[in-house]
Structure 1
Amino acid sequence: MTADLVIAGLGPAGRALAFRAAAGGLEVTAVDPRPERAWRATYAAWADELPGWLPATAVAARVETPSAWTVREHRIARPYRVLDTAALQRALPLDRVRVVTGRAVDVDRTGVTLADGETVRGRCVVDARGLPPAPGRAQQTAFGLVVDARSAAAALDGQEAWFMDWRRDNGTGRGDAPSFLYAVPVGPGRVLLEETCLVGRPALVLPELEGRLRARLAARGVELSGAEPAEHVRFAVEGARRRRGGPVGFGARGGLMHPATGYAVATALSAADPVVAAVRAGRDPDRVLWTPTARTVAALRARGLAVLLGLGGENAAEFFAAFFELPVDRQRAYLSGRDDPAGVAAAMWSLFGSVPPALRRTILRSMI
């Protein structure tokens, strides 16, 4: 049987596409080695990034005014949402999808070949298996602990959440590779406190981040019981390549991850319906996903990633101080969406013009 749509990979991107495609009347087959494995990662997004079809139950916590600390405090006038990972998975049921349990060893334009030799064929084939590990790729890493809200209060300093807190009470000095505290509620009475290396090539290793987090929490008087659940994060933020004549890539595999932040889930959720509409109309989904404006935005953000990789520990806080002083619409243009290259360029130019000359020289060297 040839399905309308075959999807390799049932992480958040692949599962969202499978669910929306089946809801849109397509015959969908999805392939994954463990299709019902529970997701463990914490996902979040700006509220305006989430599609209207996502149920409210998929949101674990609402932060109306997140904060950042660079060289000073910033309030970000843009609501932020932390997703309930288990509820998100339940909100994307596969009851109308033919699910094949198996490991894909080859994915091409016409089908998915499994390790046992079976080939699942489709009119349109999408590769949503995420980015495979590879040496040399820039990565984001983080180590976090889920702490009860009462204990976490000392780390939050009265804020709803820290989107980024670059203060150096994590035991580091100016010459050390930078990391920041990400502190967000993840449900009633629970807060994720996570030490994060935004991007690195190589990125900071998890034991180093764990040590920094524990030093930071001790400095702020956060008492730990030793029973707090831990979160380990390591994923590539670059490396997706669109192959001419190959399958449609989706999610991180398709280049939908923001290279400077690592955010991808909200983009995949929002991009699912345009892909479904293209398949229904018999059009190439790549033409929907990769318009000329989307390609330009991706190229600009790739230059932004180069700048972040070139920042030393002494420059990161100053760089982000300039970013969070930008008007919110320019912050949004850089962080979200794929259809506003003028807005992305304006944000980058405004930031460049507002930083001190020494930091401008660092930025220019990074982009050469």
Structure 2
Amino acid sequence: MNSPLIARVMPCARPDGKRCPPPDCALGQSPMNGRTIDIAIAGGGLAGGLIALALRRARPDLRVALVEAGPTLGGNHRWSWFASDLDAEGTALLRELHQTRWDGYSVRFPGHARDLATPYHSLASADFDAGLRRLLPEGTVHCDRPIAALDARGIDLADGERVEARCVIDCRGIERAPQLQGGWQVFMGRRLRTARPHGIERPVIMDAAVEQHGAYRFVYTLPLSGDELFVEDTYYADSPLLDRTVLAGRIDRYCEARGWDGERLDHETGVLPVVTGGDFAAFQAAHRTPGVAVAGARGGFVHPLTSYTLPFAAATAIAIAREADLPGERLAAMMEARARAHWRRTRFYRQLGRMLFGAGSPDERYKVFGRFYRLPEPLIERFYAARSTPGDRARVLCGKPPVPVLGAIRSLVTPGAPLSREAA
């Protein structure tokens, strides 16, 4: 069903009569003279960028504005995923963006190491930004445009400009979610160029054979080229505290022990929620703007235990592109329904998260993943894609538990800590 067009976009006026350059052009002054903005996307991170890309592929006739507060799309991040996380459409969508691919990966735990054959992919935010600027139509990308407010008919920018559109999608991130419960995934990553070839051929996505430091700690290593590595120190922790000095020192020691000396190219840090429960209806209400569709982590589209977002961002983008003619109110309702269905489907992973954080000593949390990585590879693939079958769930839970039984039972009936950085 088509919606009436809400507002006209005025042509970009310059004294010399030339078109404004797309990145610097005011949103209300599009170089696409006289056309209406059909869909305005607030937030140029992974979710917003993939929605814009999916719309370009499926509906190149639509006028889309992708509005980002920061200087680039995607911020300073690296997204990684297993090939099995995506269906054919999702794979095709991501294929247009430059990425690094490996035919398999490894894991390491105390007394146990394993190589797996599932292909693994990684996408740097710099390549995400460059790819979207290359692929999206002129005038779509608008960075350095902080958002003051939004509603069902447009976006108010911090500089006072109003961007009117038929439909608005909110893909901005969130800093806190006190309506939900759980723990935190805290990490620091470093990209470095080694002084000599490092000899690493495939990713090590979990090296938990390291000192745990009061959390489930593992080091994640990606060989980006023969002399370039990405090394990330990650913690499943009770607190969102991220001490950059401490984590940097631990990465130093990890690299030194392996002879990886060389030039530090850049780094990233992050604190992600690991959701174990809560009131999802209240979470939706807290992030709802009437008539505005919500996607990405703000919409609840995450893997509760791994904090992965990419598979769900791709699926959401494709779903929105299919329904791009819906009025904003109906698209908002569709997205809320999808989010509720996702919450129901991922209940099993929240239960596992409660056991991970609540059943045993933090220094022994690695045993949960160590046992998990002895299971069949297809089960592991379905787990990361949040598509575990009833048989998979039974297989994960059966046998001798890696955590105390009474602790596991107690964790399932005890409310978790609210996901509020102020309260942690």
TM-score by length of 1: 0.83
> 1:281/1:8 Cα in 2 relative to 1: closer, same or farther (>3 Å)?
closer
Matched, 1:261 2:297: no
> 1:221/1:238 Cα in 2 relative to 1: closer, same or farther (>3 Å)?
closer
- Give 1:52's aligned residue: 92
CA RMSD, 1 decimal: 3.1
CA–CA distance in structure 2, aligned partners of residues 332 and 285 of structure 1: 31
Larger radius of gyration: 2
Matched, 1:162 2:234: no
> 1:153/1:102 Cα in 2 relative to 1: closer, same or farther (>3 Å)?
closer
Which of 31, 54, 67 lines up with 1:31 in the alignment? 67
> 1:149/1:215 Cα in 2 relative to 1: closer, same or farther (>3 Å)?
closer
The answer to whether the 8 A contact 1:7-1:14 is kept is yes
> 1:221/1:76 Cα in 2 relative to 1: closer, same or farther (>3 Å)?
closer
- CA deviations 1:199-255 (Å, max 9, x no partner) are 54335533332232223333x342424x31342321332688323645222112221
CA–CA distance in structure 1, aligned partners of residues 47 and 219 of structure 2: 27
Matched, 1:313 2:362: yes
CA–CA distance in structure 2, aligned partners of residues 306 and 231 of structure 1: 31
SS of equivalent residue, structure 2 residue 91: coil
CA–CA distance in structure 2, aligned partners of residues 28 and 86 of structure 1: 21
CA–CA distance in structure 1, aligned partners of residues 260 and 94 of structure 2: 36
The answer to whether the 8 A contact 1:144-1:193 is kept is yes
Which of 342, 345, 353 lines up with 1:294 in the alignment? 342
CA–CA distance in structure 2, aligned partners of residues 194 and 131 of structure 1: 23
The answer to whether the 8 A contact 1:163-1:183 is kept is yes
Matched, 1:20 2:69: no
The answer to whether the 8 A contact 2:371-2:402 is kept is no
> 1:70/1:122 Cα in 2 relative to 1: closer, same or farther (>3 Å)?
same
User: By how many angstroms is 1:126 displaced?
Assistant: 0.9
CA–CA distance in structure 1, aligned partners of residues 37 and 154 of structure 2: 10
- CA deviations 1:127-158 (Å, max 9, x no partner) are 1111225789743222233233676848x5xx
> 1:228/1:102 Cα in 2 relative to 1: closer, same or farther (>3 Å)?
closer
- CA deviations 1:294-326 (Å, max 9, x no partner) are 231233333333333335333222111221122
- Give 1:126's aligned residue: 169
Matched, 1:336 2:385: yes
SS of equivalent residue, structure 2 residue 235: strand
Question: Structure 1: any 5+ residue segments left out of the alignment?
Answer: none
The answer to whether the 8 A contact 1:139-1:234 is kept is no
CA–CA distance in structure 2, aligned partners of residues 261 and 334 of structure 1: 10
- Give 2:145's aligned residue: 102
Matched, 1:324 2:366: no
TM-score by length of 2: 0.73
- CA deviations 1:177-210 (Å, max 9, x no partner) are 2311101123453111211114543355333322
Matched, 1:178 2:221: no
The alignment-based identity, stated in percent, is 23
The answer to whether the 8 A contact 1:7-1:127 is kept is yes
Which of 194, 200, 213 lines up with 2:251 in the alignment? 213
> 1:178/1:38 Cα in 2 relative to 1: closer, same or farther (>3 Å)?
closer
> 1:107/1:363 Cα in 2 relative to 1: closer, same or farther (>3 Å)?
farther
User: By how many angstroms is 1:281 displaced?
Assistant: 4.7
The answer to whether the 8 A contact 2:40-2:64 is kept is yes
> 1:201/1:355 Cα in 2 relative to 1: closer, same or farther (>3 Å)?
farther
CA–CA distance in structure 1, aligned partners of residues 121 and 307 of structure 2: 16
Q: What amino acid is aligned across from residue 33 of structure 1 in structure 2?
A: A
SS of equivalent residue, structure 1 residue 90: helix
> 1:212/1:256 Cα in 2 relative to 1: closer, same or farther (>3 Å)?
same
Q: What amino acid is aligned across from residue 69 of structure 1 in structure 2?
A: R
Matched, 1:115 2:158: yes
CA–CA distance in structure 1, aligned partners of residues 103 and 160 of structure 2: 51
CA–CA distance in structure 2, aligned partners of residues 128 and 360 of structure 1: 40
Matched, 1:284 2:331: yes
CA–CA distance in structure 2, aligned partners of residues 126 and 236 of structure 1: 22
The answer to whether the 8 A contact 2:296-2:302 is kept is yes
- Give 1:91's aligned residue: 131
